[in-house]
Structures are given as structure tokens and as C-alpha cells.
Amino acid sequence: MRLDVVTIFPEYLEPLNVSLVGKARARGQLDVRVHDLRSWTHDKHNTVDDTPYGGGPGMVMKPEPWGEALDAVIESGEGRPVIVVPTPSGRPFTQELAVELSEKPWLVFTPARYEGIDRRVIEDYAERCDVREVSIGDYVLAGGEAPVLVMVEAIARLLPGVLGNAESHRDDSFAPGAMADLLEGPVYTKPPEWRGRGIPDVLLSGHHGKIARWRRDEAFRRTTRNRPDLIERADPAAFDKKDREMLSILGWAPGDDGRFWRVAQDVEE
């Protein structure tokens, strides 16, 4: 997979040389190219921003450097990339979107600063490329570089051969399939006792069926506690008889449409 990042802070992307993404680059599984937007400016101050039309606080990133940068990046490769524009006003970045983007051969990220990029840039490239405006959460950061690091890590770990154990993302929270609407429950490792705390007996039982059930029950507990909205919007067809028993213990009951609603709040989570 090829990834290009156009930014005014190339050094902010240094973490892409480290750990999982860095190793994937070294092995040739990821071709990451970071570009300095200011190389496509032509004045002596390398200006990339200007005052907003209509007034108001802050500055807006000028369209010309972005246009030249994106044209150069696009012309340097085969076909058309997906352009990912980080912005707090975009669609939420989810595991589902990470999976979708991990299947694309080429992504170009456009992290902005100030009040964002002149709108015409997004409109212009949307005429010939798949452009995704994406938010990593309901808060506002000073720039899009940290969101790019977040998205690249989530995408890269899904690429074939990047994680040591290909199965390790199967049970992740939000993983498509059985975990799509559940958070992963607690995990434990050696030693078997630490500061007087043991680990649940079932994990020592060697009984795969019981362990799988315990993990799923714990996922229901944690999701009930931290993200009940996930259970409310889950497709009830995903829940088997044992899931429904657990949901009932946790105070959930199916409504008229079959979806689950929390009818009792004071039960043991």
C-alpha cells in the first residue's frame, strides 16, 4: 500500500518510522511518502494561509499550494488515490472505515492547520478522486497530523502480514463480525498472582468453549458499562441464546422491534 502525507510539519510524522508502521515500511509492505506543503509555495515567506473571506477569527489554508502539491503527488503514481481529509466536521473514523481504507492501494492524507483548507480544494479533487472527509472524534485539535498518525496506525495493522499474528485483530473491540457491536473484555497474562490478585479460574481451565463464552460475557459487561449505545443500535440477529441470557442479567430486554433497551440500571455489571 502506498501512503502520501502532505503537511507543513513533516517532522510531526516521524512516528511513522517507529514500531508497527516503521517495521511495515522497512519490510516494504508500506510505501510512506511525507511531503512538505511549503515546497509548493513561491513567495519568500512560503505562505500557506490567508485571512478568511467573510471575516472572522483565524486563517484559512490557501488553495494554490494544496492544488500544486496534490497534482504533483497524484501524477507521481498509477491510477487515482483515495484522498483522506482530516477534519472535525468529517464523518467519524471507525473500525469499519479503517477496514475499507486498508483495502485501497493508495491513500493521500491532507492534514491541515489553522481553520482548515479552502473549500474549493476539496470540491475540485472530489470531481476526479474519491475524497473522504474524516473526523477522529468530537473534539478539535490544532492540526491534522495527529489524526493522520491515528488513522495510519489503525489501517496499517489490518494489512496482511503486518501484525505478527494474523488473528490478533479478530477479537478487537469493533472488529467486523461477532465483535462489531461489542468492546473487548479484560485480558490477563503471567504471573498468575500479582499483588494478591489472581486471574479468573475459567482462563486456566483449558476449556476453549467456556473461555470463549466468558470472554463474550465480559464483552457484554464492559459494553453495558462504557458504551451502552453500541448494544442499543446492534442488530439483534447477532445475539444468540446465551448472549440474550447475559443481556437479561445485565438489565437489557428486547423492544417491539427486537432491539435491546436497558430496562434495569441497578443490576450487577
Instruction: State the nearest-atom distance from the C-beta of 40 to ligand SAM, in Å.
Output: 18
Please give the Cα distance from 40 to 44 (Å, whole number): 12
Instruction: CB nearer to ligand SAM: give 22 or 52.
Output: 52
Active-site amino acid positions: 88, 115, 157, 172
Binding site for ligand SAM (CB under 6 A): 86-89, 111-113, 115-116, 135-137, 139-144, 147
Using Cβ positions, the residue closest to ligand SAM within the complex turns out to be 144
In the numeric block, the cell 442499543 is attached to 232
User: What's the closest the beta carbon of residue 110 comes to ligand SAM, in angstroms?
Assistant: 8
Q: Which is nearer to ligand SAM, 136 or 247 (CB)?
A: 136
User: By C-beta, is 65 or 116 nearer to ligand SAM?
Assistant: 116
Least distance CB 93 / ligand SAM (angstroms):
7
- Indicate the residue among 1 and 61 with the shorter CB distance to ligand SAM: 61
Shortest distance, CB of residue 115 to ligand SAM, whole angstroms? Answer: 4
